[in-house]
Amino acid sequence: MANKKLEAQITELLTQADVQVNGQRPWDIQVHNPDVYERVAKAGSLGFGEAYMDGWWNAVKIDELIYRILKADLAHVGLHHVSPSLLIQLIKTYALPAGRKRRAFEVGERHYDLGNDLFEAMLDSRLIYSCGYWRTASTLTEAQDAKLDLICRKLQLKAGMRLLDIGGGWGGLARFAAEKYGVHVVSMTVSKEQKALADTLSAGLPVENRLQDYRTLAEVFDAVVSVGMFEHVGPRYYRTYFKTVARCLAPNGLFLLHTIGHNISGKFSDPWITRYIFPNSALPSVKQIASAIEGHFIMEDWHNFGTDYDRTLMAWYANFEAAWPSLKAKYDERFHRTWRYYLLSSAAGFRARSLQLWQVVLSKHGVAGGYESVR
């Protein structure tokens, strides 16, 4: 039986975000199960996402709905009580922190190994699974090529240099750097599926793809890059991460960190994202990164283009929906709703400026004469 008091309370809160229950606008929420109010009150964003997966509510434009909720800061109103299921989720996060060695390959197995067919349908031709750079781009392919070139220019790559890519995915950056800048690349991933496809795609290029945890590295490189991997490291291991990079970077080399960031320091990610999309994930804050690099690096440049991730995610969503007729034979409708919610809620987070995208350039001893920022 629906809790009428909770229904009224949540309906009023949604009104503050310019969202109506069963309204006519694309961002208005359509409630199909009145128990959704109690579910959200007890489990917060985890319950809200799970309720969508179960078909308890819908909206024509989920991204616009969640954008309005975030802009109104409803997530911090303090409405929900901690349910046993949410409490267990939080305990697991603290007791088994993101990034420890034993769990390093879990995100590869549960997310990146879902199927190369899914990612080939959703991403650009280079299979770049990170924020594009839309400054002068009009298509996803152009935005991703612009981002890869931006990284190479920031690292001041030159022919013959040796580059380490920590978290290289399907090897798109490695192939770009090898083809366009003439460098030799070691590209690391924790996904067997990513490595298998990367090996095929990089055949004939000076690229070595490895299935390897970053902590086992003991080689020196002229430059180091890490794109979209730091979100899986975990705050407890930030110092270990930067210490490892410093050990692998030549004295005069540059390191570029490309990561999603959060405005507030924390120890874990959104509970729905952690449970269903990226296990063991955690988003760093400016403070956490600054503290972790102290004593290891000098910060040369910090570039925020988080609003570009909104456009990137919406492009991925359009590709995913267009490809769904060919994907649904392998992935069920619950996965369809899960993936849709993941892409659209993430886009909303960047649109509301709750999430950021940072590229940080670091040196070990400071660039002689100063570092010239690249945009």
Question: How far is the CA of 211 from the CAs of 129, 256, 362, in angstroms?
Answer: 18, 21, 25
Q: How buried is 212 (Cβ within 10 angstroms: 0-12 exposed, 13-18 middle, 19+ buried)?
A: middle
The domain ranges of the chain are 4-81, 101-363
Whole-angstrom distance, CA of residue 159 vs CA of residue 358: 26
Domain 101-363 has CATH 3.90.850.10: no
pLDDT of residue 32: 98
118: left (phi over 0), alpha (psi -120 to 50) or beta: alpha
pLDDT of residue 276: 92
pLDDT in tens, the chain (375 residues): 568 889 999 999 999 999 999 999 999 999 999 999 999 999 999 999 999 999 999 999 999 999 999 999 886 554 444 344 443 444 344 344 444 555 555 655 667 777 789 999 999 999 999 999 999 999 999 999 999 999 999 999 999 999 999 999 999 999 999 999 999 999 999 889 899 999 999 999 999 999 999 999 989 999 999 999 999 999 999 999 999 999 999 999 999 999 999 999 987 778 999 999 988 889 999 999 999 999 999 999 999 999 999 999 999 999 999 999 999 999 999 999 999 999 999 999 999 999 999 999 999 999 999 999 999
Contact criterion met (CB below 8 Å) for 176 and 182: no
Whole-angstrom distance, CA of residue 237 vs CA of residue 244: 10
Long-range interactions of 351-354: CB distance < 8 A, separation 24+: 351/63, 351/67, 351/307, 351/310, 352/67, 352/70, 352/71, 353/263, 353/306, 353/307, 354/70, 354/262, 354/263
Beta-bridge partners for 356: 261
